[in-house]
Amino acid sequence: MAKSGTTTQGLRTAIERSGYYPALVAEAVEAAVGGEPISSYLVHQETTFDSNEVRRHVTVLVLTGNRFIVSHTDEQAADAGSPSPYATTSTESVKLSSISSVVLSRVVANPESYTPGTLPREVVLTIGWGAVSRIDLEPAACGDPNCDSDHGYTGNSTADDLSLRVSEAGDGPEAVRQTLVFAQALSEATAATSSTSAR
């Protein structure tokens, strides 16, 4: 399930509709947003199955004029440190100028008959701002098949701070549409920030 929009009240309503500890999630997100006007937001809840346990997770993404705010809330079962179930919530505030990439991957059924405007079957929104990077390394080689020298390693580094998968089958078509709307708003905001700072 994903909900998007542009107002503070709309954000609170979307968090309440997710039904996932709304008072806790809303308080954390609203404290991070402060008094800034909201340009766009996305609320996404997902349920996962871990052995015999069902775990829920909600991600709230908020775009303001200057910042991108991401909030995660997870529920945890009772453990040695806590005799009762508990939830953890975290928020991170990122300057728009720090966002290095906004990647939107679309999965489209029957691409040979694709009609512009048709919703993808699923989308994956990946946002990078340099807090987490993935490095893929492999041994370097030269063009000589008989060479057995050590050429060191080659690879690449990929920003991978947040990845959110939304599918029509699992989340519904409206959730896919809302993710596309938020991704476009974030892309446009980071582009505007880049062009302003380049002047």
Q: What is the percent of the chain with per-residue pLDDT over 90, rounded to a whole number?
A: 55
Which pTM does this prediction carry?
0.79
Residue 4 has pLDDT above 60, yes or no: no
- Residue 46: predicted pLDDT: 82
Residues 17-54: pLDDT tens digits?
A: 988 899 999 999 999 999 899 999 999 988 777 667 77
Phi first, then psi: what are they for 110, rounded to 5°?
45, 60
Residues 99-158: pLDDT tens digits?
A: 999 999 999 999 999 999 999 999 999 999 975 555 656 777 777 878 877 777 776 555
Q: What is the percent of the chain with per-residue pLDDT over 70, rounded to a whole number?
A: 83
Structure tokens at 172: 């519904």
- Between 79 and 14, where is the model more confident? 14
Phi first, then psi: what are they for 177, rounded to 5°?
-60, -45
Q: Which helix (H) or strand (E) holds 93?
A: strand 86-95
The size of the chain, in residues, is 199
- What is the C-alpha separation between 21 and 135, in angstroms, rounded? 35
Residue 91 has pLDDT above 80, yes or no: yes
- Residue 70: predicted pLDDT: 96
User: Are the C-beta atoms of 44 and 2 separated by less than 8 Å?
Assistant: yes
- Residue 164: predicted pLDDT: 92
